[in-house]
Structures are given as C-alpha cells and as structure tokens.
Amino acid sequence: MTETNRATTKRPDDELLVYVNGEFKPAAEASVSVFSWGFLYGDGVFQGLAVKEGRCFGFESHMDRFFQSAAYMAIVPPVSRDECEAIIAETARINDLYEGYLRPLFTRGVGRMGLRNVQSLGGGEFFVIPQHERAYTVEEVKANLHRAKTVSVRRIPPASIDARAKLCNYQNNILAVIEHRAAGADTGIMLDVHGFVAEGPAENIFVVKDGEVSTPPRHNVLNGVTRAAIIEVARAQDRLVRERDLTVYDLYNADEVFFTGSLHGIGPVAEIDGRRIGSGEIGDVSLELLLGYRALEEAESFELIGRPDA
Ligand SMILES: Cc1ncc(COP(=O)(O)O)c(C=O)c1O
C-alpha cells in the first residue's frame, strides 16, 4: 500500500476501534461505567505512545513506566505485561494506525463510591485508545517556536505524589494550561513548591548555557522517555549534561531552552514571560539534539505495524 492509499483509507478518529476491557469497540460506542474509579477519582495510570511510520520509540521504557506507576498506586493490571504489549500492538494494527497516538490506561476498577471501598472493587480495567496524530517534521519544529509563561500553579511535590508516576489525575497540569492560555502564551512552565523549574504541563524542559545542557532533576519531573533519550544523545555528542536545580534566572539567561515529549521530540522556546530567549530561532545545540534524537528514533523504534510496502 502506498502512502496515498493509506491516507485515503484512513478511518476518521471517531471510527477508530478502541480496546475496552477485552474487546474492540468503535470509538463512538467505547465507554466506561460511571462507577469506574478512573472516572470517579481519576484513579488510574496511563501512557502516551507516539506512533510514527507504524513504530514506537521507547516502547519498553513506556511499558516500564506504565507498570511501575500501577505498582506505585497498588493498581493491579488485569493483563500481564506481555498481553498488554500485544494488545497495544494489535490496537495499532487493527486501526492501521501508521501515524498516531496510543493511550493505554489501567484503572483500579469499578465499584461503589466511597474511598472506604478501595479494596472491594472489581478487577482493574484496561483500555487502549487510538488517535491520529502526526509528528512535526524537522522543518516544522524549526518553524514552531514556543512562547512560554511560568505559571503560578506549582507542580505537585514528590512528598504528595511521586513525579515519576504517570497518573490519570492531570488537574494540576490542566490548571497550568488554563493559566498560560489566559495569558496568551502557547505553553506553560511549572515550578516546584520551592521555586525551582520543574516541567511543562505535558513535557520536560532543558536549558542550554555556554554549551552545557541542563535539565531539572528527576525527583520533580516525569521521567520522560524523550528526556532520557535527549540526555543520551547529548552525551553521545560529547556535551556536558547536568541534571540540576534551575530557577527562572537560568531560564531568562539561557542561550537556548527547549521542551521534550514523545510526539515531536523537541519544542524550541523563543520567549519566556515576554523575554526573548537566544536568537528567537531554534538554537544550534537544540537543532543538533533534535537531529540526533530523530536518528535514534529511526534506529531503535519498535515496530508495531508493518511498513506500507512490506
Ligand atoms: C507531565 C509530563 N512531563 C513530561 C512528559 C514527556 O514525557 P515523554 O517524553 O515520555 O513523552 C509528559 C508526557 O507524557 C508529561 O505528561
């Protein structure tokens, strides 16, 4: 099948098949019980997998984070890790999802309201929700620089929720998005409760200064799969990389700032709180890291569905 054929046979998002607790259902009919604790309390864990050319970068790292987040919350997945991986791949295949996003999600289960019932729920639920998405090309990344704003809402501290757990409760991050949008910025930067830079609402952040690449330490941020890959690429490019506390001082004085996340890899930042960062264009280091990351993706991604001409 050629690229063109694939595009013409692509189902609209609302006709994609969603995996719901053991069966595939058309998106319009895929629903959850109002008694699901995922719905009642945001009591679930999830992952966001980017599918590019039918392949997924960092699939095993995403699965590690998925099962470790569930273990942290004492959520018992209703499937083994092997079954989970097979069902995710099947969701990509059945939907011919060549460019997209997959959201595997476990909830604690379905049962009576009231936190006292936490141990008497039915078994955990498992969903895999597909959506078409297309990652920016390198040229598009270069053309889409962010105007960011530091927001007043602070990232939940690890003493409350460990930052490495990817939980269904994203209201902290949604407050951050509402705030930066209201201010006319296109993304937000969250600080931790002590005023150190943490991350974006759905991405990690990096600063480049005098050639050195820095990113906030892991205890305050999601252990992003892209973050780890960028650190690996930067070290392979012989750059000095440090995981260290950063403040807005470091942001405002940076030569380059960029976000990282699974879909686009790197999102360069041109402005923070109305202050221009660097030249206002993607910086040299950011660009080399982006190119290195794309090469790593190409070399190491896990094949979910075959290539069109395979
Ligand atoms: C809060 C948060 N930080 C960082 C990231 C980036 O993580 P990754 O690189 O694994 O996509 C995400 C994306 O899921 C996120 O939600």
Tens place of pLDDT per residue across the chain (310 aa): 334 444 445 788 888 999 999 999 999 999 999 999 999 999 999 999 999 999 999 999 999 999 999 999 999 999 999 999 999 999 999 999 999 999 999 999 999 999 999 999 989 999 999 999 999 999 999 999 999 999 999 999 999 999 999 999 999 999 999 999 999 999 999 999 999 999 999 999 999 999 999 999 998 899 999 999 999 999 999 999 999 999 999 999 999 999 999 999 999 999 999 999 999 899 999 999 999 999 999 999 999 997 655 4
Helices H / strands E in the chain, number of each:
9, 17
Give 4 Cα–ligand 1 centroid separation in angstroms: 31
Q: Which atom of ligand 1 is nearest to the CA of 221?
A: 3
Q: Burial letters for 151-166: b for 16+ Cβ neighbours within 10 Å, e otherwise? A: bebbbbebeeebbebb
Backbone angles phi, psi at 136, to 5 degrees: -60, 145
Nearest-angstrom CA–CA distance, 119 and 144: 47
Q: For 258-286, b where at least 16 C-beta lie within 10 A, e where not — what string? A: bbbbbbbbbbbbbbbeeeebbeeebbebb
For the chain, give the number of residues.
310
Find out whether the beta carbon of 261 lies less than 6 Å from any atom of ligand 1: yes
Helix pair 225-236, 59-72: axis angle to 10 deg: 130
Cα of 162 vs centre of ligand 1, distance in Å, is: 14
Q: Which of 101, 222, 262 to mutate to test the pocket of ligand 1 (most atoms within 8 A of CB)?
A: 222
Among protein residues, the one with the nearest Cα to ligand 1's atom 13 is 202
Give the pair of three-digit tokens for residue 102. Answer: 């997959």
What is the Cα 143 distance to its own chain's centre? 21
Atom of ligand 1 nearest to the CA of 47: 14
Q: Which atom of ligand 1 is nearest to the CA of 173?
A: 1
